[in-house]
Amino acid sequence: MQDKVWIFDTTLRDGEQALKASLTEEDKIQLAHTISRLNVDVMEVGFPVSSPADFRAVQRIAAEVKGPAICGLARAVSKDIDACGEALKGAEQRRIHTFIATSPLHLEHKLRMSLDDATNMAIKAISQARKYTDDVEFSCEDAGRTPHADLCRIVEAAINAGASTINLPDTVGYVTPDEYAAMIYHIRNNVPNIDKARLSVHCHNDLGLAVANSIAAVQAGARQIECTINGIGERAGNCSLEEVAMIMKMRQDHLKVHTDIRSEEIYRASRQVAKICNMPVQPNKAIVGENAFAHSSGIHQDGVLKAQNTYEIMAPETVGVPSNQLNMTSRSGRHVIEHRLTELGYQKSDYDMDSLYESFLALADQKGTVYDYDLEAMIYFNQIKDKDERYQLQFVNASSNSQSIASATVGIALNGELKQEAATGNGPVEAAFVAIERITGMAVEVVEYNLDATGKGASSLGQVDIIAKFDGKQYHGVGLAADIVEASVRAMIRVYNLIDRAQKVSSLKQQRKAG
Ligand SMILES: CC(=O)SCCNC(=O)CCNC(=O)[C@H](O)C(C)(C)COP(=O)(O)OP(=O)(O)OC[C@H]1O[C@@H](n2cnc3c(N)ncnc32)[C@H](O)[C@@H]1OP(=O)(O)O
Ligand SMILES: CC(C)C(=O)C(=O)O
Ligand SMILES: [Mg+2]
């Protein structure tokens, strides 16, 4: 039987500490339900003494969220322990987590006390916490920079006072994996009552080692990892839950431990945390980043199409990602194009791959990603010529000020004939879009609108990216101009031209079927 490693999620405590705006009570409740679906063992959900709102949030989660033990954080101070104990009263399983710093640096400069004083405060706090629950965790803050002998003294005293979990945090993300493992071994071998407690680790990512340190600690005998979804937390963040959980799942053969995490819930939880916490996930983030299961180069795509595990060590579905993604770019090869066209219902006899690939590369070099509708257009028109576009921008005039609604006039050459319309809106971009809608007679739904500066300083160009929906399909338009309204209008006109081309492709397809 393999050992279980407990997963202690602290997204709603340490993770929340890093946010620009604290989470509301409702946000916390929603996320607490999501985190409990991951089947974590313990959820640290706040610091009840810190504010009335945090006290209420912890109290509500304790009453409403079933499954994991609900935990609150408290300094080794009487009023913190009472606040924590009171807030957790409604929980089926409750844990009080109390802590005090033990490193010489923190003792001297922050707490301004000796290790003996800190030890006495810890003993008092743990004994007080035990009046509320049998499940008390004690942390030696900044353990990573604390001499091993000092850690042994305070840990032994904490266990004698009634702590059943001992956490040794690398609070400032300073230590290396071998040093961290050595610390865990030292504590296991030199604290006489250590068998009465579970050893826990809590790593920060200042040097990018939080996950590696946590795994090294597990290999040295730690049996609880403290972590957060997407690795959010103070400064560079905490150890990421999804990464350690998947390391222990995918490398059980080597690590010989397991967790109870329901990995299929990971992606959903990650997206909710990113959204509610307003902390986007970087695209290349392991496990949950947008590119974690995306393949963009021809050799990789060919490999994955032949056998998925050539370039995927885990199936995307294992972490709740619906499927992998094969991006078509100028680094793609013929195999992926053929595969995509087969998925779209084409047979090899419908196109000449060599000439299609040539057009594909030309387009991919020009615009980056090639979409399905581009491929189809290439089949029907062989190549895409901008001069054939139905809608060509002639001019845009927009005016706005802080006191009245904005207005815009747009002129578009439609099959060579100038059409112009004026409209108003909440801002000049909206007004211009309404004017375009009037000219084209078609309403599109803007799903995403992104504005970026290309270049430096005030002379930089505005780049607008629009994802718009029309008739169930999505279209991507990009516009670049010194004026951001013009960039927006150019991006939108691109969308209308893509819709026009898709409509032409679809009527050609029907004619071909009929004839
Ligand atoms: C490593 C970590 O992540 S620890 C958790 C960090 N999280 C937070 O700090 C979020 C919640 N914190 C808060 O709301 C506030 O800081 C409070 C309510 C805890 C305290 O607020 P204040 O009383 O105004 O104190 P302030 O935050 O300015 O200073 C902290 C005080 O706690 C002391 N302290 C710090 N850690 C501990 C501890 N573990 N045990 C006892 N006292 C401690 C400090 O020495 C300082 O004491 P001093 O006032 O005697 O100098
Ligand atoms: C409170 C403790 C566990 C902490 O967050 C840290 O040391 O980083
Ligand atoms: Mg921390």
* 364 and 408 housed in the same domain: no
DSSP 51-65: -HHHHHHHHHHHHH-
Mean pLDDT of 253-261: 98
Which residue would you say has higher pLDDT here, 459 or 303?
303
* 445 and 365 housed in the same domain: no
- Cα 170 to chain centroid, rounded: 23
- Tell me which of 255, 276, 297 is where a domain ends: 276
Whether 313 maps to a domain, the answer reads no
* 413 and 504 housed in the same domain: yes
Query: For the chain, what's the residue count?
Result: 515
Q: What is the distance in A from the centroid of ligand 2 to the CA of 268?
A: 26
Residue 229 · residue 270 · CB < 8 Å: yes
* 263 and 371 housed in the same domain: no
Q: What is the distance in A from the centroid of ligand 1 to the CA of 274?
A: 27
Question: What does the pLDDT read at residue 349?
Answer: 86
Q: Average per-residue pLDDT in the chain?
A: 93
**Hey, CA dihedral for 48, 51, 54, 58, is it positive or negative?**
positive
Whether 306 maps to a domain, the answer reads no
Q: Is 45 exposed, middle or buried (0-12, 13-18, 19+ CB in 10 A)?
A: buried
Residue whose Cα lies nearest atom 45 of ligand 1: it is 111
* 27 and 99 housed in the same domain: yes
Q: What is the distance in A from the centroid of ligand 2 to the CA of 139?
A: 7
Question: What does the pLDDT read at residue 456?
Answer: 59
Which one of the ligands is nearest to 97 CA? 2
Distance set, CA 390 to CA 28, 304, 413, 436, 496 (Å):
50, 39, 8, 13, 9
Question: What does the pLDDT read at residue 512?
Answer: 73
Order the strands of the 461-470 sheet from edge to edge: 445-454, 461-470, 473-481
Provide the domain count of the chain: 3
Question: What does the pLDDT read at residue 383?
Answer: 45
Angle (deg, nearest 10), helices 484-514 and 372-381: 60
- Alpha-carbon distance of 164 to 138, in angstroms, equals 8
Q: Per-residue pLDDT tens for 389-409? A: 899 999 999 998 888 889 999
- Ligand 2 atom nearest residue 142's Cα: 7
Whether 314 maps to a domain, the answer reads no
238 DSSP 8-state letter: B
Q: Per-residue pLDDT tens for 193-241? A: 999 999 999 999 999 999 999 999 999 999 999 999 999 999 999 999 9
Q: Per-residue pLDDT tens for 114-141? A: 999 999 999 999 999 999 999 999 999 9
**Closest of 322, 329, 313 to residue 362, by C-alpha:** 329
* 407 and 364 housed in the same domain: no
- Which DSSP helix (H) or strand (E) runs through 408? strand 406-414
From 102, 145, 167, the mutation candidate for ligand 2 (largest count of ligand atoms within 8 A of CB) is 167
Which one of the ligands is nearest to 78 CA? 1
* 224 and 350 housed in the same domain: no
The model's confidence at residue 261, banded by pLDDT at 50, 70 and 90, is: very high
* 378 and 252 housed in the same domain: no
Counting other chains too, the contacts that 435-443 makes at CB distance below 8 Å and 24 or more residues apart are 435/408, 435/409, 435/410, 436/410, 436/412, 436/489, 436/492, 436/493, 436/496, 439/391, 439/410, 439/412, 439/414, 440/391, 440/412, 440/414, 440/496, 442/470, 442/496, 442/499
**Closest of 400, 408, 412, 438 to residue 424, by C-alpha:** 408
Which one of the ligands is nearest to 144 CA? 2
**Is the minimum distance from the CB of 171 to ligand 1 under 6 angstroms?**
yes
Residue with structure tokens 């961290």? 180
The ipTM, to two decimals, is 0.98
Residue whose Cα lies nearest atom 31 of ligand 1: it is 111
pLDDT at 377 over 90: no
CATH number, position 439: 3.30.160.270
Whether 230 maps to a domain, the answer reads yes
Whether 435 maps to a domain, the answer reads yes
pLDDT at 447 over 50: yes
Whether 317 maps to a domain, the answer reads no
- Tell me which of 323, 353, 383 is where a domain ends: 383
Q: What is the distance in A from the centroid of ligand 1 to the CA of 35?
A: 27
pLDDT at 384 over 80: no
Whether 112 maps to a domain, the answer reads yes
Question: What does the pLDDT read at residue 9?
Answer: 99
* 369 and 436 housed in the same domain: no
Q: Per-residue pLDDT tens for 455-496? A: 656 656 778 989 999 998 889 888 888 889 999 999 999 999
- Alpha-carbon distance of 70 to 319, in angstroms, equals 24
- Tell me which of 325, 348, 383 is where a domain ends: 383
Q: What is the distance in A from the centroid of ligand 2 to the CA of 240?
A: 15
Which one of the ligands is nearest to 108 CA? 1
* 340 and 205 housed in the same domain: no
* 267 and 379 housed in the same domain: no
* Residue 25 in tokens: 């009570």
- Cα 510 to chain centroid, rounded: 43
Residue 187 · residue 197 · CB < 8 Å: no
* 348 and 272 housed in the same domain: no
From 11, 47, 114, 203, the mutation candidate for ligand 1 (largest count of ligand atoms within 8 A of CB) is 47
Its domain, for residue 352, covers 335-383
* Candidate from 296-305, 360-369, 385-394, 431-440 with smallest mean pLDDT: 385-394
Q: What is the distance in A from the centroid of ligand 1 to the CA of 81?
A: 13
Q: What is the CA radius of gyration of the chain?
A: 29
